[in-house]
Amino acid sequence: MESRKTYTYDEVYRASLEYFDGDQLAANVWANKYALKDSFGNIYEKSPADMHRRIAAEIARIEHNYPNPMSEDEVFALLDHFRYIVPAGSPMTGIGNDFQVASLSNCFVIGLDGPSDSYGAIIRIDEEQVQLMKRRGGVGHDLSHIRPKGSPVKNSALTSTGIVPFMERYSNSTREVAQEGRRGALMLSVSIKHPDAESFIDAKMTEGKVTGANVSVKITDEFMNAAINGQKFVQQYPINSSNPLMSKEIDAASLWKKIVHNAWKSAEPGVLFWDTILRESVPDCYADLGYETISTNPCGEIPLCPYDSCRLLAINLYSYVEAPFTKQAHFNYDKFRQHVRYAQRIMDDIIDLELEKIRLIQEKIESDPESEEVKQSERHLWEKIYTKTSQGRRTGVGITAEGDMLAALGLTYGTPEATYFSSDIHKIVATEAYRSSVNMAKERGAFTVYDATREQNNPFVNRLKSVDPALYDDMVHYGRRNIACLTIAPTGTTSLMTQTTSGIEPVFMPVYRRRRKVNPNDENVHVDFVDDTGDSFEEYIVYHPKFLTWMKVNGLDTDRKYTQEEIDELVARSPYYKATANDVDWMEKVKMQGAIQKWVDHSISVTINLPNDVSEELVGQLYVEAWKCGCKGCTVYRDGSRDGVLISTKKDKKADDKKCDCPPPLVTEVRPKSLECDVVRFQNNKEKWVAFVGLLDGYPYEIFTGVLDDEDGIALPKTVVKGHIIKNTDDAGNRRYDFEFEKRGG
């Protein structure tokens, strides 16, 4: 076998840094996550140009199986520099990759046919979840089939433990699966109609519980109306039975208040407006043929039926703005329409590539040394996935850089004018993607179970019909290649490589600070900060890439070191002013999501970022508005409800605790001389221990632990529950910590 050229990491990083025009974060992400490598650490691609050539060659190979094929160079031109079409992580990593036997699908949903409330069925789902995660996929499944706590069972327990213990099981399994530096991703959902729904909603409020899963509750229109109008609501099991084994009446408003409180407190659970999802779903027109939607992928943008999967791709909206950030800025509609059609075509090609990957996975299973008994479960899982993939040919064409597109056109994210423009863009995505799918049906054949009569009352299909009757007539006549086509995903790391805002979101922060450690004795070093240990740091400003473009267009010096006041003035002059994740009009953002959702046949992953001091009532109002305006789901993040990683250029504490998907910058604070502390007693391997938890602004800052020994170790009366940790130095200048304690009640 001919040996392939390999590169050192330094060679790859330097080439990538040049490719990304000096963007260290983008170069790091690509070199570490996406450069082609084998299990021994050998790297076979020097820059993203090599990766895009690999992907283009494979797409072109599939294209030549059909009429009017695109060439490799045509595909490469669409991918190059992440300018127009950007495959998501799994396709980008897996296409043309002979070193891994892995799926190209970003997400799966699983769920056994028929009754699945036995231990055997629950464990089977656990096994299938792990088998999929080891092939790189994120997984979602619903728990509404599990009988409620206290239900009679015919085993030694006599009564069921309910849903929550199995949430922990599935969560732990997720944390155990390695995915080349990624942890497995899991979505657990349950219907609000289930008697254990409240326990499900509360499960993650206990620290350290269900940490390996996102959780969302499936909310019905009936429940929402009952909650808003102060009415009772009936929960039952089975949830859709006309003759349930168990039912109970609850106060809907109280449970709704708990959902809102928990979301305000911890950003979970997410809510899925389930009746809207089912009503709008095109695949659910084929529910009786196995396409009934039961849950979503981990980020919520792809509701799926059991054993279906989806591959994702994003179109970089910013690249269609001509003369960005000028008075002459305009959107290139003709190029955009053409590229949306190409994107849908590439997505269909990726389905063929995925079917090849599944066959390789099946061959790997057959060649494994395990017994037939062990192989059978995994073999059957991939047979089911292959069938759903080949029959429905589901795709996930989406977008990224919505926030940058609007800013480049001089529109302010979160205003009615911007929402109107965005809605129009997504209408084009919908019509052109479906047009491409119909054209492919003419050349390649329609998806297996297509039936126009089944879809004639679907709201989404009728929306397309109303704006493009000729497209609808062609679809009825020729069929459609793909059962569903569209989504909007978070595009976390891929947006770092497009160097744009992610998905549908606004810019998180146009400017922020980072710190790097320096040697104060080196020449030309500027020390801005010295930490408690004496290490020196230089502070530097990081600009959002397109904010930097705005500065250059306006003749501003991008190399100069600006003061905080000057940075504030720059941001105020820019189109990003009052249009960041934390200061957009929250209600307008919800309305924007609802307006765009009408043109997305799957769903949208979007987060409403809120300041720390917002009320629970506001969160409830946003959720209600999301339901009313047609959103399929809603997630809020209140600043400080989870640990943040980015810091503002401003010095105030509130602005320092920001949340972003970017890797954390190096941040060091000066420790206060005195900290309040909590005293926590616990048992460690049958020994009694004590921990002193130093608190800063009410949150743990540092922890000291030791054995609780009344004879020669740490001895504290049981009444000691709090105190202070005081930093001192002894006569020799060594650092020392003293503890002053108060007894319960002072």
DSSP state of 527: -
What pLDDT sits at residue 134?
A: 86
Give backbone dihedrals phi and psi of 113, rounded to 5 degrees, phi first: -75, 145
**Which of the four pLDDT bands, split at 50, 70 and 90, describes residue 676?**
confident
pLDDT value at position 136?
Answer: 79
From CA 153, how far away is CA 151, in angstroms rounded?
A: 6
Could you tell me which residue, 618 or 731, shows the higher pLDDT? 618
Please tell me the predicted confidence (pLDDT) of residue 687: 63
Lowest-confidence segment of 79-83, 181-185, 528-532 by average pLDDT: 181-185
Q: Give the closest residue to 329 by CA, choosing from 318, 315, 337, 340.
A: 318
Q: Express each pLDDT in 127-140 by its tens digit.
A: 999 999 988 788 99
Q: What is the pLDDT of residue 179?
A: 55
Q: Which residues contact 310 (CB under 8 A, 6 or more apart)?
A: 105, 106, 107, 297, 302, 304, 394, 395, 396, 487, 602
State yes or no: pLDDT of 668 exceeds 90.
no
- 3-class secondary structure, 541: strand
> Model confidence at 317, in pLDDT bands (50, 70, 90)?
very high
Q: pLDDT for 25-76, tens place per residue?
A: 899 999 999 999 998 989 999 999 999 999 999 999 999 999 999 999 999 9
Cis peptide before 238 (omega within 30 of 0): yes
Mean pLDDT of the chain: 88
pLDDT of residue 711: 45
* Domains detected in the chain: 1-46 (no CATH), 48-106+311-507+576-606 (3.20.70.20), 112-304 (3.20.70.20), 514-573+647-665 (no CATH), 674-743 (no CATH)
Q: Quote helix, strand, coil % in the chain, to nearest 5.
A: 40, 20, 40
The 10s digit of each residue's pLDDT in 89-99 is 999 999 999 99
Question: What pLDDT, on a 0 to 100 scale, did the predictor assign at position 184?
Answer: 75
Give CA–CA dist 689/679, Å, rounded.
11
- Which H or E element spans position 529? strand 529-530
Mean pLDDT check: name the lowest of 335-349, 429-443, 637-651. Answer: 637-651
- Quote the pLDDT of residue 512: 81
Please check the confidence at residue 653 and state whether its pLDDT lies above 90. Answer: no
Non-local (6+) Cβ contacts of 640 within 8 A are 612, 657
pLDDT at 640: 80
pLDDT at 659 over 60: no
At residue 454, what is the residue type? R
**pLDDT tens-digit map of 561-606:** 888 899 999 999 999 999 998 889 999 999 999 999 999 999 999 9
- Residue 719 backbone class (left: φ over 0; alpha: ψ -120 to 50; beta: rest): alpha
Give dist(CA 33, CA 533) in Å, integer.
Answer: 34
C-alpha dihedral sign at 260, 264, 268, 272: positive
pLDDT number for residue 717: 62
| pLDDT tens per residue, range 512-548 | 877 777 788 777 777 888 887 777 887 778 899 999 9
d(CA 610, CA 592): 16
For residue 732, the model assigns a pLDDT of 56
The pair of structure tokens assigned to 534 is 């004496």
DSSP 664-722: PPB---PPPSEEEEEEEEEEETTEEEEEEEEEETTEEEEEEEEEB-TTTSB---TTEEE
Tokens (6 digits) for 710: 């009344």
Taking the complete model, does pTM exceed 0.75, yes or no? yes
